[in-house]
Amino acid sequence: MKLVVPQEIIENEHRVGVTPDCVGSFVKMGFKVFVQSNAGLGSSYTDESYKKSGAQIVKKLNDLYSKADLVVKIQRPSKINKINEFSHLKNCNILTLMYEQKFKSEFNALKKLNINLFALERMPRISRAQSMDVLSSQSNLSGYKAVIDAASIFNKAFPLMMTSAGTVAPAKVLVIGAGVAGLQAIATAKRLGAVVSSFDVRASTKEQVESLGAKFIEVEGGDSGETAAGYAKEMSKSYKKKQASLLEENLKKTDIVITTALIPGKPSPKIVTKKMVDNMKVGSVIIDLASEFGGNCELTKHAQTVDYKSVKIIGPSNLPSSVAQDSSRLYSKNVLNFLVNSCESGKFKSFKWDDEVVKETCIINNLHKKEQKK
């Protein structure tokens, strides 16, 4: 079977779908791996490193996609300038991050093709799928990088310092949302010496937050704030009112805010209001990891830095891409584990269509439906 790894064409995307360390494992599963020339350079993986691992390097897109069985990408297929990825996708399985509710035009174009599309962000949150969970692996690095970027922008030091010239007070960091990104942000901020607190609507996250050495900010009398799948859910108006009052008081004392709150399938909840920002300290920094889906702060603009009354509100465009070498490697391993899940005796022949992780992630199965009719 032919596994294809194209170079990403979306701006500011430096990751690659498969890294050289995983190529050997794909080959053992029965794949022949074809990588577009320079596809890994943005992640510091050279064509030579792919060749040594057993992949073939292809320069022309027509040759790359010809008779492809499986296409592994980071970003959704797109048409940008002279490159039309849709025209190359025929009779193949595509593994990618799709977000079809946000990128409807691309999704509608893909629905017309004879393909199977697996949206890896839809991986179910079950224990056996943890090693396949692309969102977790990428969010983990986003949480880390958000704190590193905040530390470089913030005009004070993070840790407590006792010097002969006086004492430097530690930075105060508030992390909103204690999912994978939030927990890594907490851990990173603590390592840098900050005083850290965290807020999440899910009461079940309190123990995790406190185990990392952060203070958990809790709305009294609220429900669990959690869906059966373990994600945060939309809260009542009464809860939101209490939440706003509690956060406003805490934000007055905060230097850096990292927001990570997302609700699957819906725009990001607006948690930090303009009024709250008005009362924040001079020189404060907000990094809004939910900016691509509308942002958790009312003033956030995706892929931009907003200077508002001496507070910087940053909506990063693609944090995992800024640590592309590691994020690509983890993504590649997630994809490998996903395919291993459908292997028999170590070989991949087809997806196990009755398996939960396959059913949940496959959002277009035009090719599979035709095979069933035959």
Catalytic annotation, pick one of 56, 87, 130, 304: 130
Query: Across-strand partners of 252?
Result: none
Looking up tokens 């939309």, which residue turns up?
A: 234
Spatial neighbors of 48 by CB under 8 A, at least 6 apart, are none
Catalytic annotation, pick one of 125, 191, 308, 317: 125
Q: In 3-state terms, what secondary structure has residue 116?
A: strand
Looking up tokens 């009542």, which residue turns up?
A: 236
Is 130 catalytic? The answer is: yes
Cα-to-chain-centroid distance, residue 337: 18
Is 133 catalytic? The answer is: yes
Say if residues 161 and 168 touch (Cβ distance below 8 Å): yes
Spatial neighbors of 76 by CB under 8 A, at least 6 apart, are 96, 97, 98, 99, 103, 106, 107
Say if residues 91 and 117 touch (Cβ distance below 8 Å): no
Cα-to-chain-centroid distance, residue 142: 7
The DSSP 8-state label assigned to residue 256 in this structure reads E
Catalytic annotation, pick one of 43, 136, 138, 243: 136
Helix, strand, coil percent values for the chain (each to nearest 5):
40, 20, 40
Is 245 catalytic? The answer is: no
Catalytic annotation, pick one of 133, 200, 288, 326: 133
Active site positions, annotated = 125, 130, 133, 136, 231
